[in-house]
Amino acid sequence: MSARSGFSRREFLATGVGAAAWPGLQTFPASQDLATLTVKQASELLRRKQASPVDLVQACLKRIERYDRSINAFITVTREQALATAREMEAELQRGKTRGPLHGIPIALKDNIDTAGVRTTAASGVFKDRVPAEDAEVVLRLKRAGAILLGKLNLHEFALGGTSSVTYFGPVHNPWALDRVPGGSSGGSGAAIAADLCIGTLGTDTGGSIRIPSSHCGIVGFKPTYGRVSNRGVIPMSWTLDHVGPMCKTVEDAALLLGVIAGYDELDPSSVSAPVPDYSRAIRTPTSKLRVGVARTPFFDGINTEVAKAVEAAIDVLRKLTTDVKDVKVPATGNIADVWNPEIYAYHMPWITKTPGLYQEATRNLIQRAADERSAAYAEARHQVDIVRREIKKVFAEVDVVITPTQRGLAQLIVPQPAAANAGRGGAPAAGVGAGGIVNTGAFNIYGLPTITVPCGFSGSGLPIGLQISGNHFEEPTVLALAHAYEQATDWHKRRPKL
């Protein structure tokens, strides 16, 4: 494991590293930056022997060194480990062995996902020296699929906020505008994909932490059904609401990653035993018969005019791709903080009572206030989650998907700590996110629905805007199919920030 500044500046491909190690390699044009490829594109190059896993890793490391000083997406870069794994994956390919589409693909992981032998900090001074002995279940699955770990990504401390500015390791900057937040809590993941610092990544989502940064960074972020992907080995925020999912450059990439990490884990009490479809095939399912519901209240309330214009234009595109578009009402969810505050305090009690000074101020204040929550209120709120997860199914009797804006506002300016995460009732996770907060995303954590965000436009100042698509429980294939159809009908996902 190396320090962030400790890796080589050596040019990839020009050195001949891949060609020397892999006989028969067809040299890929040196002008092409391999780190800018999608998972699918990179996988195809490896299959055709037009690039090697070492080439891909070197390309990503080069971009990390060049750009991450200004973005601050990475907490840890595992340079030597990544190169060693790349050589192993290359040797397997040379022998004719392939583990699937992620074989040899460089990825990075949000730093609240345990990685054996590599520190996992949750962006906190509390865990700054924490090195897990075991991989999280999703990491084990990625490694078995041949993915290569480049390092660990910055986040809002302990995932308790929506800006990624409150972190022991310094704020994450949005690649589209370095003075803006990338969103949170998976801000490092969103920024890393937008800046092409890695080819794929995972985030976690309790109230929007995959979808908020994906929307603000102009990428694809997918929160699957609650229980679809194992949470075991992920530092929890709220056991009732936590999800793990992919953050990628395209919907197809999200389908590829989800296909690897999805599935039952008998050691995770939140995991659900259900068949895992072929998500990559599902994205090509025709959408002409799908019924689309637009949930306007409260998701369009107080919406930024530029966001509203982009989302309405996206809905017009969906009208051409589906059989029907109509407004629908979804059940009210109540205050999400009534569920997560007691669970946050329950997890943090050993540290917040003994070493409170190791937390960032905004995080410490949030957790300490969470101790005041009444047990009766929590019991009622937790009961309501079960009720709402059943009630939402009724909506899907009349539509197949539900559409909302991902965020009602644009990425906000970075505010210096501790003011960046002003903690009101309900806690800092809702504060500092931008106009609309977590209202548009958090409801779908309570519902437990599979929900994706895809780029659907930009503001006049060049800030990305996201469209949110949700389906019934375990209807990931339907969500992916419509998201992919929309993506192919537009070109928003092809735009990259100028770094």
Q: Give the residue numbers marked as catalytic.
A: 110, 185, 209
Three-state SS at 149 = strand
- Across the beta sheet with 106-110, the strand order is 74-77, 148-153, 106-110, 200-205, 243-248, 220-223, 451-458, 464-471, 401-405, 291-295, 324-328
CA 159 to CA 167: how far, in whole Å? Answer: 10
CA 270 to CA 400: how far, in whole Å? Answer: 25
CA 420 to CA 468: how far, in whole Å? Answer: 26
Distances (CA, A) of 328 to 291, 294, 397: 11, 6, 11
Q: Are strands 74-77 and 148-153 parallel, antiparallel or unpaired?
A: antiparallel
Alpha helices, H only, 322-451: 337-352, 361-370, 375-391, 439-447
273 CB-contact burial (10 Å; exposed 0-12 / middle 13-18 / buried 19+):
exposed
10 CB-contact burial (10 Å; exposed 0-12 / middle 13-18 / buried 19+):
exposed
Distances (CA, A) of 383 to 41, 89, 270, 444: 45, 47, 16, 16
CA 337 to CA 50: how far, in whole Å? Answer: 50
The one-letter amino acid at 283: I
C-beta of residue 114 within 8 angstroms of C-beta of residue 235: yes
69 CB-contact burial (10 Å; exposed 0-12 / middle 13-18 / buried 19+):
exposed
Listed residue (455, 475, 412, 433) closest to 209, CA to CA: 433
Alpha helices, H only, 371-458: 375-391, 439-447
CA 376 to CA 246: how far, in whole Å? Answer: 35
